[in-house]
Amino acid sequence: MTYDQWKLSNSIDDGYGYDLVSNCCGASLDETEERCNECGEGCAAIEDYEYEEIQKENYLEDRSDAQRKYDE
Ligand SMILES: [Zn+2]
């Protein structure tokens, strides 16, 4: 694969592996100020795959909470 082909197939990838996103919205952020560009709140920078893990855990937690309520 030539560099051009690689570059085209990785147009979003900056070559460092993962993008940093805000932990509140999973959006882009000002990394120096740790401020979310989506909601404007202060946030922590996390890697995008970490944000997806958190979202998945929240979803599973919500679902098991709902399940428990249903069983009561
Ligand atoms: Zn936010």
CA of 1 to the centre of ligand 1 (A): 38
Please tell me the pTM assigned to this model: 0.64
For residue 3, what pLDDT is reported?
A: 66
CA of 28 to the centre of ligand 1 (A): 9
Q: How many CB atoms lie within 10 A of CB 61?
A: 10
- Can you tell me the distance from the alpha carbon of 25 to that of 34, in angstroms, rounded to the nearest whole number? 13
CA of 60 to the centre of ligand 1 (A): 21
Torsion angles phi and psi, residue 21, rounded to 5: -130, 165
Question: Where are the chain's structural domains?
Answer: 3-70
H-only helix segments in 1-72? 3-9, 48-71
For residue 9, what pLDDT is reported?
A: 64
For residue 18, what pLDDT is reported?
A: 79
The model's pLDDT over 2-59, given as tens digits with 9 standing for 90+, comes to 767 666 665 555 555 778 999 999 999 999 999 999 999 999 999 999 999 999 999 9
CA of 25 to the centre of ligand 1 (A): 4
* Residues 52/43, Cβ–Cβ less than 8 Å: no
For residue 13, what pLDDT is reported?
A: 54
CA of 67 to the centre of ligand 1 (A): 29
For residue 20, what pLDDT is reported?
A: 92
